[in-house]
Amino acid sequence: MSESPIKFELLHIDKYTGARRGRITTRHGVIETPVFMPVGTNATVKGITNDQLNEIGTEIILSNAFHLYLRPGLEVLDYYKGLHNFMNWKKPILTDSGGFQVFSLPNKKFSEDGIIFKSPLDGLEIELTPEKSLNIQNVIGSDIAMVLDVCVNSLSSYETVKESVQKTFNWALRSREYHNNKNQALFGIVQGGLYEDLREISLKQITSLDFDGYAMGGLAVGEKYQDSEKVLKAFGNKFPENKPRYIMGIGSPTMMFLSVENGMDMFDCVLPTRMGRHGTALTMQGKLNLKSSKVRYDDQPIDDECDCYTCKNHSRGYIHHLFKRDEMLGKILLSIHNLRFNISLVEKMRNAIEINEFKYFKEEFFRNSGYSLTN
Amino acid sequence: MSESPIKFELLHIDKYTGARRGRITTRHGVIETPVFMPVGTNATVKGITNDQLNEIGTEIILSNAFHLYLRPGLEVLDYYKGLHNFMNWKKPILTDSGGFQVFSLPNKKFSEDGIIFKSPLDGLEIELTPEKSLNIQNVIGSDIAMVLDVCVNSLSSYETVKESVQKTFNWALRSREYHNNKNQALFGIVQGGLYEDLREISLKQITSLDFDGYAMGGLAVGEKYQDSEKVLKAFGNKFPENKPRYIMGIGSPTMMFLSVENGMDMFDCVLPTRMGRHGTALTMQGKLNLKSSKVRYDDQPIDDECDCYTCKNHSRGYIHHLFKRDEMLGKILLSIHNLRFNISLVEKMRNAIEINEFKYFKEEFFRNSGYSLTN
């Protein structure tokens, strides 16, 4: 077991739930957990400058090996000495392996070593293998790389999920073997869909390998809340205690509470920025549609408890006007607010965990907010 | 003659040209001249936050009575107590009267009191009169309002321009008479197209009325450089010396130099932001196309002499990538840079005027830059 490029400290576990308060130290700085990671798919969090990301308390961003491989491409990333330098982001970066993106494409098929798909940009055939994904992430120079996994949708048959678990393990083995970057942590990914015995197998297989952290994959892919809840309750706290635990692709308040309660430390989601671009704000009182004419004469900020640039400077009515005129600034202001909402929420969770009040904080949140506890 | 809501100080005139260094004091702060005014048509400079506007040295923005009348509409602007409060912009605002916008529409016709046109939003007939334009600008609460004028294109016949001059004078008279807002300056607009005798008449008519400033209208509407040069040389310094002089709708380096050289103090243009959104950067070495694959491997800033956020933080190659992926951040970063380019250029002009080196500065600029002296 070689020394990990990151250090994880488990600072505290909430007395009444599985919620964890931790700290990850990387070469690009410290990440307090639980942490929400804004998504910067194309080497940019859509519409947001690095200064704005820093201002809202971003500690780490997520980017995508798959998208960066297509554009700008490895030659460019190599020329600029990696993604940090290319986009001038000085804090940690985690990269997804491309698994989720490739499996979302039509017409992919397994090859002997990996998976073959058609580039969504030009239709040319591309093969992605566990080793190639690591090569890409190596050029990107992310602080945390993910293994290539086989992600299936939540309606898949038992046989399909079983095969995906087996291949995911095989690819994880090859990835662990192949990875050779002392500056980059590598996380394994547990699959198994909604089948408890397959989750159990995948968890044992993946955690038998010495990764720097472990991720729960294959959730937030269309299943019901109750199904993700079942998986998280059964397996969240079976992940190794001394390593970061990352649940991929979640970011709604409901799912963040559920994940943290069951021992998860990290999550990412395009939801805050995507909803922002479409005119919906996240607030402590629930979702707010800024396109609705109801807010035309509303001179209040989106959320008067929020400390973001948008809420400190602009009214709901002004943002409504910007959306009516399809002005970029509307999308920018709402993206800033929604990202800050998520980051601020995990900051509050951290405080609640530290004083063993996570359960109370969660109950309060759902009592007072417009969010459903179950979706 | 009542007291003006703004104060204009003529600080210095360049010894060898007509270039003026001045200062306008308004209720919302001081504007040093020459000044470039970013355009915020729909109550937002496209893609740019107020913080970013301040950071690049914006001293005043321009907005449009016509667009704001259509959306958000007067009821909303009235509810929010004017545009400053609505968009939370604390510095001066100048509003155009709607003249230029209405005359750009098809199917408009003169009514007895003003002009009738179809709303580009819903096709309903709207009448705009000099008085109504002032009512709108009154609700907006701009620091400087413009009179409604008759703007014709540069190819118009002598008869058409003559009529436009007459009507412009008539409307200016009515506007001067009607305007009754002690907190708002009112500027008259000189028309006359490219006909020197009509320009002469319009200048005499408009400056016979006691406005707080005077504008040169009807240029930058498609005419050749040589034609605008002729008008500016002949009439720029015939404008009253003790009032601000505003040339409407110009903002290219070439036209800014020409205008300042001939005694103009203020200008506005959508060019920097529009070019920015389309991938073109203004630099001291000329225009730079960031969409071109030539800059794919270019790790230099857009302009290494520029002090803007974009140039301090990002490379040409990164911005190229953002445009390739149609990412909002590309448009934002280039808009910031281009606005800063124009503002920085007028700041340099001010310094040059103060030491009587405007002519030298202009010659240097055109010797070293990629801009043509004549377009």
Per-residue pLDDT tens, chain B, 375 aa: give them. 568 999 999 999 999 999 999 999 999 999 999 999 999 999 999 999 999 999 999 999 999 999 999 999 999 999 999 999 999 999 999 999 998 888 888 889 999 999 999 998 899 999 999 999 999 999 999 999 999 999 988 889 999 999 999 999 999 999 999 999 999 999 999 999 999 999 999 999 999 999 999 999 999 888 899 999 999 999 999 999 999 999 999 999 999 999 999 999 999 999 999 999 999 999 988 999 999 999 999 999 999 999 999 999 999 999 999 999 999 999 999 999 999 999 999 999 999 999 999 999 999 999 988 887 775
Residues 6+ apart with CB under 8 A from B55: B309
Which of A47, A80, A315 is the closest to B299 by Cβ? A80
Direct distance between the N- and C-terminal alpha carbons of chain B, in angstroms, rounded to an integer = 40
Angle separating helix axes B328-354 and A328-354, nearest 10 degrees: 110
The pLDDT-based confidence of A369 (bands split at 50, 70, 90) is: confident
In this predicted model, what pLDDT tens digit does every residue of B194-227 receive, in sequence order? 999 999 999 999 999 999 999 999 998 888 999 9
A315 token code pair = 């009214």
Q: Do B51 and A309 touch (CB under 8 A)?
A: yes
A88 contacts chain B (CB < 8 A): yes
Element (H, E) at B21: strand B20-26
A350-356 average pLDDT score: 98
Contact in structure between B16 and B242 (CB atoms under 8 Å) = no
The yes-or-no answer on residue A268 being catalytic is: yes
A83 contacts chain B (CB < 8 A): no
Based on DSSP, count helices (H) and strands (E) in chain B, helices before strands: 15, 16
Interface A-B, measured as beta-carbon pairs within 8 A, has a size of 106
The pLDDT-based confidence of A103 (bands split at 50, 70, 90) is: confident
- Pairing mode of beta strands A185-190, A7-13: unpaired
Give how far Cα A192 sits from Cα of A146, A150, A206, B361, Å. 17, 10, 11, 70
Using the predicted structure, report yes or no on whether residue A1 has a pLDDT greater than 60: no
Dihedral through CA B30, CA B34, CA B39, CA B45, nearest 10?
A: -60
In this predicted model, what pLDDT tens digit does every residue of A255-280 receive, in sequence order? 999 999 999 999 999 999 999 999 99
What number of CA atoms fall less than 13 Å from residue A26's CA on the CB side? 25
> Which position among B14, B212, B265, B268 bears the catalytic label?
B268
As to burial, measured by CB atoms within 10 angstroms (0-12 exposed, 13-18 middle, 19+ buried), residue B285 is: middle
Determine the Cα–Cα distance for residues B248 and B255; give it in Å rounded to an integer.
11
* Amino acid (1-letter code) at residue A115: I
Using the predicted structure, report yes or no on whether residue A254 has a pLDDT greater than 60: yes
pLDDT at B375: 56
Calculate the average pLDDT of chain A.
96
Contact in structure between B10 and B242 (CB atoms under 8 Å) = yes
Residue A72: list chain B partners with CB under 8 A: 296, 317, 321, 324
The SS3 call for residue B211 is: coil
Contact in structure between B236 and B199 (CB atoms under 8 Å) = no
In this predicted model, what pLDDT tens digit does every residue of A285-311 receive, in sequence order? 899 999 999 999 999 999 999 999 999
Please identify among residues 312-341 of chain B the ones whose CB lies closer than 8 Å to any CB of chain A. Answer: 313-315, 317-318, 321-322, 324-325, 327-329, 331-333
Determine the Cα–Cα distance for residues A53 and A45; give it in Å rounded to an integer.
8
Using the predicted structure, report yes or no on whether residue A315 has a pLDDT greater than 80: yes
Determine the Cα–Cα distance for residues A49 and A257; give it in Å rounded to an integer.
28
Residue A88: list chain B partners with CB under 8 A: 313-314, 318
Q: What is the pTM of this model?
A: 0.97
The Cα of A88 is separated from the nearest Cα of chain B by a number of Å equal to: 7
B175 token code pair = 């506007």
The Cα of A43 is separated from the nearest Cα of chain B by a number of Å equal to: 8
Dihedral through CA A175, CA A181, CA A183, CA A186, nearest 10?
A: 0
Give how far Cα B219 sits from Cα of A64, B160, B237, Å. 50, 16, 16
